[in-house]
Amino acid sequence: MSLPLIAFIVVAFCWRIATVFISARHERALKAHGAIEYGALNSIMLAVFHVLYYLSAIFEASLRSGNQNSTLSIVGVAIYIAAALVLVSVIRSLGDLWTIKIILSGTHRLVKSGLFSFVRHPNYFLNILPELIGFGLALNAFWTPVIGLPLYLIPLTIRIRQEEAVMTQRFSSYC
């Protein structure tokens, strides 16, 4: 595997770890003020699938040893960066409400600004799915997206349904 791809992997992992720390900080503050978590088991499943997807793409790329399509890698990195910028936008829109879990407090507000005014779940459709596609393409890992994305869609679909149910119950204007 080339040095630029290794650097990309390291940066991608650091980025994701940084977002987990942001989420954990927000989660602690929300729960300290009585917030309740929903779908905890599925949140764990999503995290496991996310890590397994990354590891699978890295493993698949390591088997290619030198046969990388640099144009495809550049496209993948560009998609990954765009997805990361979407996540920055989502975090800015939600502020201290953003976590990687479904957590609602008594003072939770419904956010309809930023990307939320255009897409119901920008974090899932404009960040996570493009991030995974970009990561796979950057590493020229073809089987990981083909097999991994449909598998990832199982807990992601469950997450979206859980979030929809909680938000509909909490906010009459959510529908």
Q: DSSP labels for 106-164?
A: TT-----SGGGGT-S-HIIIIIIHHHHHHHHHHTT-SHIIIIIHHHHHHHHHHHHHHHH
Domain 3-169 has CATH 1.20.120.1630: yes
Question: What pLDDT was estimated at residue 172?
Answer: 84
Distance of alpha carbon 49 from the chain centroid: 11
Tokens of 41: 């088991």
Distance of alpha carbon 61 from the chain centroid: 21
**For the chain, domain boundaries:** 3-169
Question: What pLDDT was estimated at residue 122?
Answer: 94
Across the range 120-131, mean pLDDT stands at 95
Across the range 8-15, mean pLDDT stands at 97
**How confident is the model over 71-99, as pLDDT tens digits?**
999 999 999 999 999 999 999 999 999 99
Distance of alpha carbon 84 from the chain centroid: 9
Across the range 48-58, mean pLDDT stands at 97
**Mean pLDDT over each residue of the chain, to the nearest integer:** 94
Helices then strands, each counted (H, E), the chain: 7, 2
Full-model pTM:
0.92
How many C-beta atoms lie closer than 10 Å to residue 174's C-beta? 13
State the pLDDT confidence band at 68, using cuts at 50, 70 and 90: confident
